[in-house]
Amino acid sequence: MPRKTMIEAIRDAMDVMMGRDDNVVVFGEDVGFFGGVFRCTQGLQAKYGKTRCFDAPINESGIVGAAVGMAAYGLRPCVEIQFADYMYPAYDQIVSEAARLRYRSNGQFTCPIVVRMPTGGGISGGQTHSQSPEALFTHVAGLKTVVPSTPGDAKGLLIAAIEDPDPVIFLEPKRLYNGPFDGHHDRPIIPWSKHDLGEVADGHYVVPLGKAVVRRPGTALTVLAYGTMVYVAMAAATETAIDAEVIDLRTLLPLDLETIEASVRKTGRCVIVHEATRTSGFGAELSALVQETCFYHLETPIVRVTGWDTPYPHAQEWDYFPGPARVGRALLEAMEP
């Protein structure tokens, strides 16, 4: 099975779907001729033409608004917001139009759009290129929210998202774009060598939305993570020698509560890790769900490890989001009687 970066896997997914379905169109800022700021769409315009892959003005609201209109008339737009930090002008279109179109039309119209966004920090992008706004989407009924952690999953999940009849927010961790980083250090360096990249099957395949996966089996405690933090959690479990079960959520909505519940009932302990700020982060929802469904199985309080409640600090980037040392301390705390 070939090995690819997450960038290559995402490009492959769009290529596969554009080849299979003429209604799939790809557009966004610098997406066409240039191939996107991270080159995720490189070569698609040359292969499919300027009516299938094209550049949009620097107008995020216009990009998503146009996609909603296209979707209502039968197309399947897969649009790119250059950074997740830039999505705020488009938030009204996502929430008020895309998420509600099926419901406000009583099913006469659907909105099969995918909004791709590079998310998270770790590339010295500062406050306006490093945010993790997933909780702003998981709060909205009518949206699905996806965060892959491997190239193989990124391709399969993106194909599933493009084929889905409803709007999907597809958040791509920038720190994982070019291969799993070395999660055993608090200041990891992204390796570029091919042997560090994930296997990605050729052709069309689907990773179903709403299905988590156990990345590291264990019996002592459960760690819930997604995106980049999956690797941090596995590194912390290895370094602390705790028999932790690390669950990669992959899809935040719909959420695979069945896998979470089965794991926590088995281990009796739960640690939740995410890069976004703590207050009202998605970890709060996870904590509430675990408390509601697994209360009588919990041996210790649920522990959250998150980013700080502060605007993204450029100079203290590697302290802001959880590293293996901080997650390791949380694992040890959760193991205390």
Using one digit for the tens of pLDDT, what is the confidence trace for 229-272? 999 999 899 999 999 999 999 999 999 999 999 999 999 999 99
Does the residue 304 lie in any domain? Answer: yes
The Cα–Cα gap between 330 and 225 comes to 13
pLDDT at 183: 46
Query: What would the two tokens of residue 194 be?
Result: 């091919």
Catalytic site positions? 129
Domain membership of residue 58 as a residue range: 3-199
Residue 208 falls inside a structural domain: no
Same domain flag for 119 and 195: yes
Is 17 inside any structural domain?
yes
223 and 174, same structural domain?
Answer: no
How much is the pLDDT for 180? Answer: 61
Indicate whether 157 and 304 sit together in one domain: no
| pLDDT < 50 regions, the chain | 183-186, 188-195
- The reply to whether 40 and 188 lie within a common domain is yes
Residues 25 and 158 in one domain: yes
Residue 260 shares a structural domain with residue 325: yes
Q: Is residue 207 part of a domain?
A: no
Report the pLDDT value the prediction gives residue 337, as an integer from 0 to 100. 79
Q: Indicate the length of the chain as a whole number.
A: 337
> Contact 60/115 with Cβ under 8 angstroms?
no
Task: Select from 199, 232, 264 the last residue of a domain.
Answer: 199
Last residue of a domain, one of 170, 199, 228: 199
SS3 for 57-113 is: CCCHHHHHHHHHHHHHCCCEEEEECCCHHHHHHHHHHHHHHHCCHHHHCCCCCCCCC
pLDDT at 181: 56
| pLDDT, tens digit, 9 for 90 and up, residues 92-147 | 999 999 999 999 999 999 999 999 999 998 888 888 899 999 999 999 999 999 99
pLDDT at res. 112? 98
Indicate the burial class of 239 (C-beta count within 10 angstroms; 0-12, 13-18, 19 or more): middle
Is residue 143 in a domain?
A: yes
- What's the pLDDT score for residue 300? 97
Question: What was the pLDDT predicted at 334?
Answer: 97
CATH of the domain at 155: 3.40.50.970
Contact 331, 223 (CB under 8 A): yes
223 lies in the same domain as 167: no
Do 43 and 35 contact (CB within 8 A), yes or no? Answer: yes
Q: How many domains does the chain have?
A: 2
Paired tokens of 86? 């830039």
**Looking at residue 321, which CATH number applies to its domain?**
3.40.50.920
